[in-house]
Structure 1
Amino acid sequence: MTVIAWIVEGTWPACVDAARTHAPEGADIMLLHVTGHDVPGAAHGAYAGLLGRGHRERDPGTRLENLGAEAAQQLLQAAAEHLGRPCTQLERSGRIEREVVAAAENADLLILARDGDRTHLGPRSLGPGSRFVVDHAPCPVLLVWPEAAPDIESIPPPPPHPPHHR
C-alpha cells in the first residue's frame, strides 16, 4: 500500500499524524511537498523586464528558488522526524495542485489537510488548490482538519425556499 501525505506549511502535522494513524504497518509512506513556480517566476520576469538581462547572478528569482528548495527540504525533514517511521520524501515543483494529483497517480491513499476557512464546516474549508486535488485525485482521499473541527452548529442554515405552488 502506498500512502501519500501532502506536506504544506502550517497544516503538515495533521497530515503526518493521519498517516501514522491510518497507514498500515509496512505501508510505503511518501511525504510530498510541492513548490510553486509563481513567486520565483514573477521575480525572474520583473528582473528581466525592468532591470535588464545582462546580470543573471543578480536575478532575485534564482535566490527565491534556492530559498524555496531549502525550506522544502527542512519541512520534509521535520515531517519525517514527526512521522517516526520509514518514509520517502519527495519534492516536486510546478503548478501545485496538478503536481499533487500527478504524484497520487499510483497511490492507494492521499492525505491532505483543510486549508481554507477552518472556523466553519463546509466547502469553504478548502482552498482552491485543495478543492482541485479533492475533485481530481485518482485515489481515495483522507481529508483532515489541521486542528479540532468546528462544532456542528457552524453549518450555515439552509437557504430559504419559496412556498411550493401546485
Structure 2
Amino acid sequence: MSVIAWITEGTWPACVDAALTRTSPDEDIVLLYVHDDTLAETAHGAFAGLLGRGHPERDPGTRLEQLAAASARELLQAAADRLGRPCTRMERHGRVERGVVVAATGADLLICARDGDQSRLGPHSLGHATRFVVDHAPCPVLLIWPGEIPQTDLPPHPPPHPPAPGHRP
C-alpha cells in the first residue's frame, strides 16, 4: 500500500502524525510537496519586462526559486525526521492542487489537512487547493484537522428559508 502525505507549511506535522498512526511499518509513505511557481514566474516576468533586459544575473525570480527550493527541502527533511522511518520525498512544480491530484494517481491513500478557517466546521475550513484535491483525487482521501476540532452544534442549523408556496408545516 502506498500512502501520500501532502506536506504544506501550515499543516505538515498533523499529516505526518496521521500517516504514522494509520499505516503499518511495511507500508510505503511518500511525503509530497508541491511548489507554487507563481511568485517566481511573476518576478521573472516583471524583471524581463520592466527592469532587466540584458542583465539575467539580476533576475529576482531566480533567487525566489532558490529560496523556495531550499525551503521545500527543509520542510521535507523536517517531515521525514518527524516520521522517523524510511520514506520517499517527492517534489512537484506548478499549480499546487493539480500537482497533488497527479501525484496521487495510483496511491492507496492521500492524507491532507484542512487549511482554511480553523475556528469552525464546514466548507470554509478548506482552502481552494484542498477543496480541489478533495473533489478530484483519484484515490481515497483522509482529511484531517491540523489542530483541535472546533466545538459547535452538530449538525449545523439549517439556513433560514421562507416556506415554499403551498407548503404546510
Q: Aligning the two structures, in what range does the TM-score lie when normalised by the shorter sequence?
A: over 0.9
**Residue 107 of structure 1 aligns to a residue in which SS?**
coil
- Cα distance, 1:49–1:82 mapped onto 2, change above 3 Å: same
Say which is worse superposed, 18-27 or 107-116, in terms of deviation: 18-27
Q: Deviations over 1:88-128 (max 9, x none)?
A: 01111111100000000010000001000010000110001
**Residue 147 of structure 2 aligns to a residue in which SS?**
coil
* Matched residue, 1:136: 136
- Cα distance, 1:154–1:72 mapped onto 2, change above 3 Å: farther
* Matched residue, 2:23: 23
Determine if the alignment matches structure 1 residue 81 to structure 2 residue 77.
no
Which amino acid is 2:32 matched to? Answer: L
Q: Is the Cα–Cα contact under 8 Å of residues 118 and 125 in structure 1 kept in the other structure? A: yes
- Cα distance, 1:113–1:146 mapped onto 2, change above 3 Å: same
Q: Deviations over 1:22-65 (max 9, x none)?
A: 11221100000011110000100110111132111100000000
Question: Structure 2: where are the runs of 5+ without partners?
Answer: none
Describe how 1:82-101 pairs up with structure 2 within 5 A: 82-101=82-101
**Residue 14 of structure 2 aligns to a residue in which SS?**
helix
Distance 1:112 1:76 in 2: 15
Distance 1:70 1:47 in 2: 22
TM-score (ref. length: structure 2): 0.94
Q: Is the Cα–Cα contact under 8 Å of residues 52 and 59 in structure 2 kept in the other structure? A: no
- By how many angstroms is 1:85 displaced? 1.1
Which amino acid is 1:125 matched to? Answer: S
* Matched residue, 1:34: 34
Q: Deviations over 1:134-165 (max 9, x none)?
A: 00000000001110110133865311132241
Distance 1:111 1:158 in 2: 30
Q: Is the Cα–Cα contact under 8 Å of residues 52 and 58 in structure 2 kept in the other structure? A: no
* Matched residue, 2:61: 61
Q: Is the Cα–Cα contact under 8 Å of residues 104 and 137 in structure 2 kept in the other structure? A: yes
Say which is worse superposed, 152-161 or 34-43, in terms of deviation: 152-161
* Matched residue, 1:148: 148
TM-score (ref. length: structure 1): 0.96
Which amino acid is 2:102 matched to? Answer: A
Question: Structure 1: where are the runs of 5+ without partners?
Answer: none
Distance 2:153 2:65 in 1: 43
Q: What is the root-mean-square deviation of aligned Cα atoms in Å?
A: 1.3
Q: Is the Cα–Cα contact under 8 Å of residues 6 and 31 in structure 2 kept in the other structure? A: yes
